[in-house]
Amino acid sequence: MILSELYHTNLTPILTNKVLFITPPLTQLNTPYPATAYLKGYLNTLGVASNQVDLGIEMILELFSKKGLSDVFQTVEAQLDELSENSARIFRLRKKYLQTIDPVIAFLQDKNPTLAYTISEGDFLPEASRFEQLEDLEWAFGTLGIRDKARYYATLYLEDLGDLIKEVVDPNFGFSRYAERLGLSASTFDEMEEALQEPSGMIDQIMLDLLEKKIERYQPTSIAFSVPFPGNLYGAFKCGQYIKKHYPEIKIWMGGGYPNTELRSLKEARVFDYVDFIVLDDGEAPIRLLLEYLEGKRPIHELKRTFVRLDSEVKFLNNSSVKDISQRDTGTPDYSDLFLRDYLSVIEIANPMHRLWSDGRWNKLTLAHGCYWGKCTFCDISLDYIGRYEPINAEILCDRIEEIMAQTGQNGFHFVDEAAPPALMRDLAIEILRRGLTVVWWTNIRFESSFTADLCRLLRASGCIAVSGGLEVASDRLLELIKKGVTVGQVARVTNHFTQSGIMVHAYLMYGFPTQTAQETIDSLEMVRQLFESGVLQSGFWHRFAMTAHSPVGLNPKDFSVRIMSTEGSFANNELQHEDPTGGDHELFGEGLRKSLFNYMHGVGFDIPLRDWFDSKVPNPSVSNTYILKELEKEEAISYKDQKRIIWIGEEPELLEGENAGFADLVFSGKKEDFAMEIPTELAEWVLGLLQEVSYQESLKTIRPIRESYEEEFGDFEELTSSEVWEILREHGLLVL
């Protein structure tokens, strides 16, 4: 009996709580954050009734409607003397905005696709300051298709309105965050408390009205807020404040990425004026115990990884005797009651990976809990969500993929792993091919040597379209200090493997790591320039290093020659202010790194001297301008060691009698064309048998029995692997893994 069945059997009667999971504003416009779907899927295995709501997308749709904009313009009318010129222009064009907003939203929801023709002509939408960048559109991006061009225009149109709302209605507004500054580096609760005591503004009121409707509809006994980012925190507390006032009988929980990282040392009792419980890390086991406590089935001290307020003090209850739920027993994420057809596919084309984030709706799924590497010194590897590695097998993953596709009607997947394990990616790709599934997917990886050219071809055949990975500081000395386990040369070769297979590559880039000098920053930029110029990297983004309390750097700052300057507060404690006496002045580099990367991503600016990107004096690069090309030339020839695996991902060929005596034709049917090989009949029969034996429909075979079979019949196996026949087979789908 599986674990979930045991729980279901032991809970007599079945838990009667009814849970409403809420993602408060705001996350992405194009797809729901997956935490509530994960937890709803788990409660399904326990027989516990639950519903889920993404208040963010529903709030956006209320605000960006004819009625919502009418209210915005009424607010603006009372402040006409204080408007910027840009906002004044938008107000003057208010009739055009009110006329166009509902059709534009429907278009971005793919409910009104023919509007693309009108929008793309450029004279349908009212335009304000965001459209000033259009003059660079063709230079930067070439000619867009009609639909993409229209969605880009529509995105700029929404951003113009967002600028107006931010200026006049609510300075805390943002399309993927709400009052984010209140949650960033908030060591005390004072500023958040002050904001929560202010009267509700227009956007607050929209959110609270939606909340009221959800409570009336679902009649929950508990409401659980998922708070993945700082930009969700204020919304959760504001909703909690409303529930406490109007529905004091409803219990309120909070969990998610923000509490998991920022609130681990929580001491602030005022937080519990807005929520009753805060749970950390994986929510399944803590939530099960919490539900049992709320039904009187266990005492409060048996809660797991849960903060509560007892006797006016914050207490952390950590029932470590209860184990976490195995990943195979958490159930399939359940998206069934989210409004999946109402999300907006906006298009941000300045960065190819950012475009993937915002374009289309992606089903979120996890291949493995935690990170299989778990060594990077800047990462929170001491925390459970990274430190505890537990993969799921490919069969269970594919079962969940099929369930979610049937549930949502969509086949796009973003595997949200910290770093997807190469062996599991291989097994998943083979299982997708075996089941004949049409899946489009992308994920995060480490640029490790396991990603050979053949593995990348296999991943592409299964539907992988993009990967993102950490190149970080692009300096071998610093990569070693980070314990990344890769070198710049290795990253170049791996990115080349992905690129050659047709998979887009995005690199996370970092500057300001402890002890990083100005010279190393410029040398890192030169490495990045060469990677883009050689065509092996298509997308990237520079991040300024942030020291966190749960990373090896934060836990052992002396080992990295830095000094922590911030002190622990009573509320959020994660990002640490620090002093880096041996490193360069990192403030000088951010804008120059951003500008240069923007140009490199669009195939220009490679000949501009690096110093010209910066306003202050910087050193010249000290690395050779052919460094990456020379590293790419170090590609190792494929080896045919006995323990390596071999797989054929093409279709089975047809064996026909050849025109010449003693010869046969092997006819292969590819997606675009047929091709044939005329070879001796005995060899043709052996090749056909080989391809049947190592087909992706069969279990993976090693090289050894293949070698032995060939040498028994024909001679030296190396003669085969160096022949034209083998070269053709390799070209059309014979892979060595």
**Residue range 696-709, pLDDT digits in tens:** 999 899 999 999 99
Compute CA distances 545 → 261, 284, 301, 593, 600, whole Å. Answer: 16, 32, 39, 14, 22
Compute CA distances 607 → 168, 593, 594, 599, 622, whole Å. Answer: 44, 15, 17, 11, 16
350-632: CATH topology? TIM Barrel (3.20.20)
3-state class (DSSP) for residue 657: strand
What band does 171 get if pLDDT is binned at 50, 70 and 90?
confident
Positive or negative: CA dihedral 246, 278, 178, 106: negative
Q: How far apart are CA 505 and CA 491, in angstroms?
A: 11
Q: Contact, 347 vs 151, CB < 8 A?
A: yes
What band does 182 get if pLDDT is binned at 50, 70 and 90?
low
Q: Which residues share a beta bridge with 279?
A: 306
Q: What is the full DSSP assignment across 244-281?
A: HHH-TTSEEEEESHHHHHHSTT---GGGGGT-SEEE-S
pLDDT at position 179? 52
Question: In the block, which residue shows the tokens 């907003």?
Answer: 101
Supply 390's token pair: 């537990």
Q: How far apart are CA 431 and CA 698, in angstroms?
A: 10
Residue 361, phi then psi, degrees to nearest 5: -105, 125
Q: Which residues share a beta bridge with 224?
A: 21, 253
In one-letter notation, the amino acid at residue 703 is I
Q: Is 634 exposed, middle or buried (0-12, 13-18, 19+ CB in 10 A)?
A: exposed
Supply 252's token pair: 């309120």
What band does 28 get if pLDDT is binned at 50, 70 and 90?
confident
- Global pTM reads 0.90
* Averaged pLDDT for residues 542-563: 90
User: For residue 693, is pLDDT > 90?
Assistant: yes
Q: How far apart are CA 288 and CA 319, in angstroms?
A: 12
Give first-to-last CA distance, the chain, whole Å.
Answer: 36
Contacts of 546 (CB under 8 A, 6+ apart): 575
pLDDT, averaged across the chain:
90
Q: How far apart are CA 569 and CA 186, in angstroms?
A: 8
Q: How far apart are CA 1 and CA 119, in angstroms?
A: 57
pLDDT at position 98? 97
Q: Contact, 309 vs 267, CB < 8 A?
A: no
Positive or negative: CA dihedral 298, 301, 304, 308: positive
Higher pLDDT: 537 or 564? It is 537
**Highest mean pLDDT (candidates 163-177, 315-329, 376-390, 522-536):** 522-536
Question: Does the domain at residues 3-56+180-329 carry the CATH identifier 3.40.50.2300?
Answer: yes
Q: Which of 223, 221, 235 is nearest to 39 (CA)?
A: 223
Q: β-strands 504-511, 539-544: how paired?
A: parallel
337-384 per-position pLDDT tens digit: 999 999 998 886 667 777 777 777 899 999 999 999 999 999 998 888
User: For residue 237, is pLDDT > 70?
Assistant: yes
Q: Contact, 23 vs 32, CB < 8 A?
A: yes
3-state class (DSSP) for residue 28: coil
Contacts of 607 (CB under 8 A, 6+ apart): none
Supply 65's token pair: 């409607």
Higher pLDDT: 149 or 238? It is 238
Residue 160, phi then psi, degrees to nearest 5: -60, -45
* Averaged pLDDT for residues 19-36: 92
* 520: DSSP letter: H
Q: How far apart are CA 447 and CA 391, in angstroms?
A: 19
3-state class (DSSP) for residue 506: strand
Supply 463's token pair: 């539907």
* 308: DSSP letter: E
Q: How far apart are CA 452 and CA 286, in angstroms?
A: 41
What band does 1 get if pLDDT is binned at 50, 70 and 90?
very low
Contacts of 678 (CB under 8 A, 6+ apart): 658, 659, 660, 663, 664, 665
pLDDT at position 10? 39
pLDDT at position 27? 86
In one-letter notation, the amino acid at residue 50 is S
